[in-house]
Structure 1
Amino acid sequence: MAQTILHKANERGSRDHGWLKTKYSFSFSDYYDPQKIHFGALRVLNEDIIAAGMGFGTHPHDNMEIITIPLEGALAHKDSMGNASIIRHGEIQVMSAGSGITHSEFNANEDATVKLLQIWVFPDKKNVTPRYGQLEIDLAQMHNNLLQLVSPYPEDEGLWIHQHAWFFMGRFDEHVEKEYAFRKQGNGVYVFVINGSFTVNGVNLDDRDALGLWDTNKISIQTNKADSQILLMEVPMEFD
């Protein structure tokens, strides 16, 4: 029988630093909840709102797969691998921190905020050569469809990471029904509602609500509002 855990939007950790307003789905920085350390290999799901012209100065990472999805605006990225780019709404960025990188992230706009999701996944290989990827999302293919953004395979659709994990995102009309089949036995799926309303395996989810599911091999999804957007993250529940 499927196991589930419900994370309501208003139960997330919250911090307001003035230039940065952030919501934490899992324990992060000085926010700690012993019941919300991670969901399988999914370690971090932060929603950040960064003020115009502000951002994170150069800082290090290692042995983590980092996925950034702008929801509004644009983010300026620079790193120790020599990458300097702008990641906009409608794009996705992946960094494999591996043996170690440093990078900075700033709002690329001087007159508007940037809103983004930053997601960390534990890798299945340690100390790999750091790697960067960026991809424009075909927004039209997300209409009433779960579009693959991330997988374990370089030759597959979307970007890839060092983990048996798959990410999908879709935008749906009202009263659309979908079934999602797990890609790998032993994985779980963390469903995050970006906006709108869904019913997932009988559980109603609204803006920024999330539901983790495991010990099953498929889930049912129904939309309750027009223009509802959802992010599915399938990750191993057990990992080294």
Structure 2
Amino acid sequence: MELIRADSRGAFTNDWLDSRHSFSFSDYYDAERMSFSSLRVINEDWVAAKGGFPMHGHRDMEIVTYVMEGALSHKDSLGNGSTIRPGDVQRMSAGRGILHSEFNHSETEAVHLLQIWLLPKFTGIQPGYAQEHFPLEQRRGKLQLLVSADGRDGSLRMNTDANLYASILVADEQVTYQRPENRAIYVHVARGSLQVNGTALQAGDALQIREETELLFGTADSAEFLVFDLP
């Protein structure tokens, strides 16, 4: 298991955005952190009140937005408009091209989110959008499947060979995951403190795992974390 500490991430700040980059992104470049399997981007963003990303374009990327605090308003060139709140998960398939904007309309509260990019299985597809609410209490003490290649168990379907799980644990709760053969696992701690097979992680820390067979997740306090099952 390779441990990546939160304070080793890239950083970008302007008057409305404070962002941390787990992988090379924009002006942050690290040849050792270009991607992990098909996982290309995890940006932890704090978007200030009345701030946001203006309309801009993407192509051939699967983009997942995971909001932890606040409300983020979405618009895109497909005609979709929505608000993403904690418990909501948004998936965009950029395909052969999509434009979108994300904005925080609050007068006082920041939005705290994770923006995730995964490399697609097929390029040049028709762009698409989906959003689903997954009640936070449903991931208490277990790994809930949010996004997958086949849309099983009520998850959002995406155009990549990956499964994204989320879990919320409180003191002394544990959950396990069996790594399938020939798969890679990436763990990102969204909030709190987590132990994975005895390794201690804090918010923003991550683990890249290729050989451990069984993963035991636990916390002495509380933790919210994501698990990516990747090719």
Q: TM-score, normalised by structure 1?
A: 0.92
Alignment of 1:90-109 (within 5 A): 90-109=87-106
Q: Distance in 1 between matches of 2:152 and 2:146?
A: 13
Q: Give the letter aligned to residue 223 of structure 2.
A: S
Secondary structure of 1:31's partner?
A: coil
> For residue 18 of structure 2, what is the aligned residue in structure 1?
21
My pick for the range that moved more, 87-96 or 210-219, is: 210-219
String of CA shifts for 1:30-49, please: whole Å, max 9, x gaps: 00111111111000000111
Structure 1 gaps of 5+ residues are none
Q: Give the letter aligned to residue 219 of structure 2.
A: T
Cα distance, 1:155 vs structure 2:
4.4
Alignment of 1:1-240 (within 5 A): 4-182=1-179, 184-225=180-221, 227-236=222-231
Q: Give the letter aligned to residue 225 of structure 2.
A: I
CA RMSD of aligned residues (A): 1.3
Q: Distance in 2 between matches of 1:175 and 1:154?
A: 31
My pick for the range that moved more, 152-161 or 22-31, is: 152-161
Q: Distance in 2 between matches of 1:186 and 1:157?
A: 25
Report the CA distance shift for 1:191/1:75 in structure 2 as closer, same or farther (over 3 A).
same
Contact 1:151 1:157 in 2 (8 A): no
My pick for the range that moved more, 194-203 or 22-31, is: 194-203
Cα distance, 1:15 vs structure 2:
1.4
Q: Distance in 2 between matches of 1:63 and 1:118?
A: 16
Q: Distance in 2 between matches of 1:215 and 1:166?
A: 18
Q: Distance in 1 between matches of 2:230 and 2:165?
A: 12
Cα distance, 1:194 vs structure 2:
1.3
Report the CA distance shift for 1:196/1:155 in structure 2 as closer, same or farther (over 3 A).
closer
String of CA shifts for 1:56-114, please: whole Å, max 9, x gaps: 11111010000001111011111111101111122110000011111111113122111
Contact 2:67 2:89 in 1 (8 A): yes
State the identity %: 41
Cα distance, 1:235 vs structure 2:
1.5
Cα distance, 1:146 vs structure 2:
1.0
Cα distance, 1:185 vs structure 2:
3.3
Q: Distance in 2 between matches of 1:218 and 1:66?
A: 28
Contact 2:169 2:218 in 1 (8 A): no
May I ask how many residue pairs the two structures share in their alignment? 231
Q: Distance in 2 between matches of 1:109 and 1:153?
A: 35
Cα distance, 1:216 vs structure 2:
4.1
String of CA shifts for 1:1-59, please: whole Å, max 9, x gaps: xxx22110111111111211000001100001111111110000001111111111111
Q: Distance in 1 between matches of 2:143 and 2:105?
A: 29
Q: Distance in 2 between matches of 1:72 and 1:99?
A: 31
